[in-house]
Chain A
Amino acid sequence: MTEEKPHFKLKYINWLLVVLIILINGYVLVAPLLPQLDLKKRQHKVQAVAGLPYKSKTDQSKNNNRQDIPSDNRLVIPKIALDQHIYQGSAAWLLNKGVWARPNTSTPPEGGNTVLTGHRFTYGGPATFYSLDKLAAGDRVVIYWQGKEYDYKVAKTKIVSPSATEIEESTDNTQLTIFTCTPLWTAKNRLVVIAYPDKELN
Chain B
Amino acid sequence: MNDKRLFVILLVILALSIALLIYAKTQVGQNFIRQF
Contact = CB atoms under 8 A, between A and B. Distances in A.
A122 B35 contact: no
Interface in B1-36: 3-4, 6-7, 10-11, 13-14, 17-18, 20-21, 24-25, 28-33, 35-36
A187 B29 contact: yes
Given A10-B4, A14-B3, A18-B10, A123 B24 contact: yes
B15 to A, nearest CB: 10
Contact of B25 (A14, A123, A190): A123
Contacts, number: 73
Interface residues of A, number: 35
B4 to A, nearest CB: 7
A90 to B, nearest CB: 12
A163 B35 contact: yes
Given A20-B14, A28-B21, A10 B28 contact: no
A94 to B, nearest CB: 10
A125 to B, nearest CB: 8
B29 A117 contact: no
B18 A24 contact: yes
Given A10-B4, A24-B17, A187 B10 contact: no
B21 A24 contact: yes
Contacts of A152: none
Nearest to A25: B17
Nearest to B24: A123
B13 A122 contact: no
Given A13-B7, A17-B7, A122-B28, A165 B35 contact: yes
A119 B29 CA distance: 7
Interface of A: 7, 10-11, 13-14, 17-18, 20-21, 24-25, 27-28, 31, 92, 95, 102, 117, 119-125, 162-163, 165, 168, 180-181, 185-187, 190
